[in-house]
Structure 1
Amino acid sequence: MAVVVQSSRGWVLDACSLIDQEYSRCIRWRDNQKSHIKCHFKRQCFQISKSHDSVKATATVDGGNSDMQQKTNKVAKKRKRKHSQLNQGEVDSQIFHEKIRSVIVEETKSLVDSARSLGHLNGGTDTVKELLPFQACSLAALCEMAKELPLVDEEEQECVQSLVAEFGCTSHVDLFSRVTENKADWATAVTLMGEEYVIPPHTAFLLSDFKRIQPLVNYGRKFDLIVMDPPWENKSVKRSRRYSSLPSSQLKRLPIPLLASTNCLVVTWVTNRPSHLRFVRDELFPHWGIEVVAEWFWVKVTTSGQFVFPLDSQHKKPYEVLVLGRYRSSADDSISSSKTSEVPVEDSRLIVSVPSALHSQKPSLSVIIRITWLHMSGLLGPAGSLDSVKPLPPCSPL
């Protein structure tokens, strides 16, 4: 079950099952031959069984208390802080943390307890031991390659192409300057530039540097949901060199108003730095004509329901923030029916799940947004019930 618990407080997700839902039926093309396969994500990527920190601290949600218990192992030598005083950024972070701490503690406890009553988050792990996938992502390397390619004349070529041509051929695919569509009812496994990728059914994608997003604009589609996970600048990214970061101001160049439908829900993953949160709320969203409607929190736990980091750690927190907003174009203000048709978004919801061992992999939000829409529209039963789903009306492509 991908959604383990749904309540007024939020959701508990089985992130691995959530991914597998899209790939239970796949078509593979190799040497112009078609075969049917079933794909699944390596579950050992979601076997985070112990919390971790630089001082090896563990944190658990206490079944009897609403607060957090922390057990810190003694270490022979602790790294001393050069400066005893916190800088302004650290002070702001502490203020924000204290503001939301009680919500994180109380709501996480409630959701984890509900999941445990259903047999989840009980510390169980798979007995099969396999090596984790190599951390270097081929897709990320392709995105870096896109930055170096010369610009093309967009007026002289089609803006969209089919993923698979006759007999499964993919040699025609231009990954970097056209929108690629997979119109198949099944996920499709294809070889692109020497690597095999599995593309979900009924999807379209553009692999490009964000400054070359015009083919997506020319594609002509408007989207009801836009999710962004920007490569925010921070010290951890600079040290790890896993990917290139982007100055916050550059995000304003994304043509969100040209891609968003009326009342489009725009969701942005944000680091826990208050400066990034302020930028999204006070600069980025207003620049696009987006009204902030809610903040959600992704709480990362182990397979036994512990926070992956101590809640009050000064270095890393066991949660990340999502800022949700509604696109309000000037034309929408004159349409009285536009606001009445939108689905309300509740504030301070929690998404609880075991995170992936792969760096920066976020849980899918599509099923959560879909369930929220169904519940608010009266097509889904009471909160917590996922069995009384009424027929779903057609929805726009996301």
Structure 2
Amino acid sequence: MEDDQLSSFLKSGVYRLQSANAFFIDPVRVVNRSYTRYRVSPSAYYSRFFESTEKLETSAESRKRKRKEKKTISLNEREKVAEQRHQEVRPLLLKAHGALLGATELLKVVRNLRCEECTDEERRELSQQSCELSFVDLGSVWQAPLYEIVLNYQEGDAHIENEGSRLGEDLKQDVIPAFDNLIVNKGSGDAEAEFLNHKYIIPKESCFYMSDVRKIHNLIPADSDSGFNIIVIDPPWENSSAHQKQRYQTLPNRFFLSLPIKQLTHTAGALVALWVTNKEKLRSFVEKELFPAWGVKYVTSFYWLKVKANGSLISELDLFHHRPYECLLLGYSDGKDNTSDFSKLNAIPNNQVFMSVPGDYSRKPPIGELLLEYMSGTKHAHCIELFSRELSAGWTSWGNEPLHFQASKYFVSKNRQMKAPDSAYNSFT
């Protein structure tokens, strides 16, 4: 049974732990199914959590000392509610984690997630691309409407590209405004985009709209039959850690009240998935103000449990301010008839847990395909991600930096053979 599960995981990137209502995701395997001529480099994706053992041990010892030195403080009322939420979900998280630790064959593969080595030529190329553009800054200057992006794509059969061929004679090129404009990959496979001497990889059947929050209304379809069946939202919540590290700009909570979720919803309704932190102030805001303002009815919560490559948690489960999991709140937005028709959703497991090794800071695992399983009667679902920082095949992505993780430094060509100590990992491509 485990062999069948492992074989399926090597192809899909998803390993289901049925006994624990949980599953493990390898985001790289999942994402790479969206590409034809390129693939995400595991070395680039997982770089944050593959530090040297010595560094990890030193960091862990330092944290333990700090915790011992810190005096126990009493919790205020809001913190008590947060602790109660944690205690309710804690047994589910422990059961899921225990199931992962018991999947020994899976863990053998997980330990080699970053087994790939770059060639010297590719390493030099990556180092030259280390300087990233700030789309936020570029989109806010007066010249923003003048910036153009060049999109190179190939028309024809996608299976030819799957064999690793280069763009050929049927190469097409579009030169279009980069900001405040819906940019569509019209090709049969991956497209290569050029913007201010930087290269970006655009997955098949994807499109994006790069703007600030004031322009999001431009995505509202003229006809709700063209609206979205799945809406994933990862807001830049006010966050002291993000502010201190200057990773991305955050917005006050009140800004999110005006998001046009209802207008983006398909006639048949939409499944809404909202990423939130464990702060009780935020959870209360979502439940009492945000979902009601959007017209979204809460359905259930999922939990993303973050683990290291050896299967251990990235931090102690009961650390109050640094818990190793985040929440994904699922809700339903009514369609045109304005009635709550939950029959349009397949049965959604309550409190499901999914685990993965995290990528870069604030980068969420790809759960869009899994959400599609819960939509019934929808052959061709329209899906959108708001505040997106990367693109997905078949999805619309909106935000002020949707190309952030599409930079070519995160990808390698499928032409190159992988160098992997684990033979099972060769099934990756």
Preserved contact between residue 108 and residue 350 of structure 1 (Cα < 8 Å):
no
TM-score (norm 1): 0.74
Check whether the contact 2:150–2:195 (CA below 8 A) recurs between aligned residues. Answer: no
Displacement of 1:244 in angstroms is 1.1
Secondary structure, aligned partner of 2:92:
helix
Corresponding position of 1:5:
15
Paired AA for residue 256 in structure 2: L
- In structure 2, the partner of 1:20 is 32
Q: How many residues are matched?
A: 339
Alpha-carbon spacing, 1:180–1:127, altered in 2? closer, same or farther (3 Å): closer
SS in 2 for 1:331: coil
8 A contact 2:296–2:333 mirrored in 1: yes
1:226, 1:267 within 8 Å by CA — same for their partners in 2?
A: yes
Please, which of 309, 315, 337 is the counterpart of residue 315 of structure 2?
A: 309
SS of alignment partner, residue 56 of structure 1: helix
Match of 2:243 in 1: 238
Q: Which consecutive residues of structure 2, in runs of 5 or more, have no partner in the other structure?
A: 1-9, 154-169, 384-429
Given the alignment of the two structures, is residue 319 of structure 1 paired with residue 307 of structure 2, yes or no? no
Matched with 1:296 is: 302
Match of 2:60 among 20, 35, 56: 56
Contact 1:300–1:353 (Cα < 8 Å) also in 2 = yes
Out of 351, 358, 361, the position equivalent to 1:359 is 361
Alpha carbons of structure 1 residues 242 and 120: separation in structure 2 relative to 1, 3 Å: same
Q: Report Cα offsets for 1:25-70 as digits up to 9, x if no partner.
A: 13xxxxxxxxxxx33323353263569699616xxxxxxxxxxxxx
Deviation at 1:295, TM superposition (A): 0.2
Structure 1, residues 298-356: CA drift from partner, whole Å, max 9, x if none? 0111111100111112331111000000102572329xxx5433323221011111111
Distance 1:5 1:227 in 2: 22
The 1:44/1:193 distance shift into structure 2, 3 A limit, reads closer
Aligned mates of 2:380, 2:108 — CA distance in 1: 32
> Structure 2: how far apart are the matches of 1:127 and 1:256?
41
Name the amino acid aligned to 1:179. Answer: L
Q: How does 1:109-128 map to 2 (within 5 A)?
A: 109-114=98-103, 116-118=104-106, 120=108, 123-124=111-112, 126-128=114-116
Distance 1:151 1:283, change over 3 A: farther
Map 1:161-200 to 2 at 5 A. 163=151, 168-170=172-174, 172-200=175-203
Contact 2:345 2:374 in 1 (8 A): no
Match of 2:73 among 60, 64, 84: 84
CA distance, structure 1, for counterparts of residue 129 and residue 240 of structure 2:
19
- Normalising by the residue count of structure 2, what TM-score does the alignment of the two structures yield? 0.69
Q: Label 1:329 to 1:190 Cα distance change in 2 as closer, same or farther (>3 A).
A: closer
Question: In structure 2, how many angstroms separate the alpha carbons of the residues matched to 1:215 and 1:341?
Answer: 27
Cα pair distance change 1:12/1:292, threshold 3 Å:
same
1:4, distance to aligned residue in structure 2 (A) = 3.5
Aligned to 1:41: 41
2-side partners of 1:119 and 1:82: how far apart? 37
Letter matched to residue 27 of structure 2: A
Residue 264 of structure 2 is matched in structure 1 by 259
- Could you tell me the percent identity over the aligned residues? 24
Question: Within 5 A, what are the aligned runs for 1:215-230?
Answer: 215-218=218-221, 221-230=226-235
Matched, 1:368 2:378: no
**Alignment partner of 1:143 out of 120, 136, 139:** 136
Write the distance in 1 (CA, Å) between the matches of 2:271 and 2:284. 19
SS at match of 1:267: strand
Task: Give 1:213 deviation, angstroms.
Answer: 1.3
Looking at secondary structure, tell me which structure has more helix per residue.
2
